[in-house]
């Protein structure tokens, strides 16, 4: 049986960092219960006590910059500004002053699980050698939700990933939730942060383009699926990303990281 850790967030985070566990992905993660009113964490539980919700905490990897959590938190703020739905996120701090990224799980209500399927799971896609295009995701979204708004949500997320240089946009990073009545909805966006890939391309193509997708490709995608006002969606996303220097500074991102990431934004084609 796992040992239970219980206490203030600063105390428990320090303990969890020594465990180095992972719930999947490149960076170490821990599933915890978090009480926002008392700022307490619990780990190693079977059933959460009253007042606690399921959260995931991400810890820096060995090769990550020290402000990796701050960068992801700034991306969360930019995504919200771009009208992208995300679960609540925040920065928590260890006893030694290290900040970590925390996000509330959207596949839990209290101690109950919500059925979730990723794009990779639904299509049996091997995300490491994938040929997935955002068009495939838009098509699946409509098939599941039978709603024009479902198509728009995917297009908006595609635009955000393009203009924010989030190239690790593989098929495991898009999911749907199904409620008790069998109704599917596009899950809140997650794992939005500055990222590159070994092949220097987006993991998911945009109208067939992976290396340098831009406005033209997003509009082609919108036209193919009859998505209204793609120019307006693109403009809203670009306006949010233009706030990067101020948002990043507020979130504690270092000046070096702010400039490094801003330089990548400026290289992107319109």
State which of 109, 143, 158 marks the end of a domain: 109
Whether residue 155 sits in one domain with residue 68: no
Q: Which long-range contacts (C-beta less than 8 Å, at least 24 apart) are formed by 148-152?
A: 148/226, 148/227, 148/228, 150/186, 151/225, 151/226, 151/227, 152/227, 152/228, 152/233
Pairing of strands 89-93, 112-113: unpaired
Instruction: Average the pLDDT over each of 56-70, 214-228, 248-262 and give the range with the smallest value.
Output: 56-70
**Is pLDDT larger for residue 4 or for residue 37?**
37
Evaluate if residue 20 carries a pLDDT over 60: no
**Sign (positive or negative) of CA dihedral 88, 89, 90, 92:** positive
Please report which confidence band the pLDDT of residue 24 belongs to, taking 50, 70 and 90 as the band edges: very low
Whether residue 230 sits in one domain with residue 158: yes
State which of 84, 109, 134 marks the end of a domain: 109
Span 181-190, average pLDDT: 97
- CA distances, 151 to each of 40, 143, 146, 178, 229 (Å): 39, 10, 9, 17, 12
Whole domain around residue 28: which residue ranges?
Answer: 5-109
What's 179's DSSP letter? -
Whether residue 123 sits in one domain with residue 43: no
Whether residue 86 sits in one domain with residue 210: no
Whether residue 147 sits in one domain with residue 259: yes
Whether residue 153 sits in one domain with residue 63: no
Res 104: pLDDT? 97
Whether the Cβ atoms of residue 4 and residue 42 lie closer than 8 Å to each other: yes
- The DSSP string of 99-160 is EEEEEE-TTEETTEE-EEEEHHHHHT--GGG---BHHHHHHHHHHHH--HHHHHHHHHHHHH
Q: What is the pLDDT of residues 64-118, one digit of tens each?
A: 899 999 999 999 999 999 999 999 999 999 888 889 999 999 999 989 999 999 9
């Amino acid at each position: 049986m796992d040992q239970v850790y219980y206490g203030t967030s600063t105390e428990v985070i320090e303990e969890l960092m020594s465990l180095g566990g992972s719930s999947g992905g490149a960076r170490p993660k821990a599933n915890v219960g978090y009480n926002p009113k008392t700022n307490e964490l619990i780990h190693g539980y079977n059933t959460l006590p009253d007042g606690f919700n399921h959260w995931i905490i991400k810890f820096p990897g060995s090769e990550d910059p020290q402000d990796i959590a701050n960068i992801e938190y700034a991306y969360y703020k930019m995504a919200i500004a771009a009208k992208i739905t995300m679960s609540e996120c925040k920065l928590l701090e260890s006893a030694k002053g290290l900040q970590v990224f925390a996000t509330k799980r959207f596949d839990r209500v209290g101690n109950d699980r919500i059925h979730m399927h990723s794009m990779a799971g639904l299509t049996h896609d091997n995300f490491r050698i994938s040929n997935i295009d955002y068009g495939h995701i838009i098509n699946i979204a409509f098939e599941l939700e039978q709603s024009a708004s479902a198509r728009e949500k995917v297009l908006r997320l595609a635009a955000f990933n393009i203009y924010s240089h989030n190239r690790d946009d593989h098929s495991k990073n898009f999911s749907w939730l199904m409620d008790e009545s069998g109704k599917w909805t596009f899950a809140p966006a997650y794992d939005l942060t500055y990222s590159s890939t070994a092949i220097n391309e987006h993991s998911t193509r945009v109208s067939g383009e992976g290396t340098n997708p831009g406005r033209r490709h997003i509009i082609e995608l919108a036209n193919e699926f009859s998505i209204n006002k793609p120019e307006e969606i693109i403009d809203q996303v670009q306006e949010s990303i233009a706030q990067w220097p101020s948002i990043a500074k507020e979130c504690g991102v270092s000046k070096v990281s702010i400039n490094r990431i801003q330089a990548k934004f400026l290289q992107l084609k319109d």
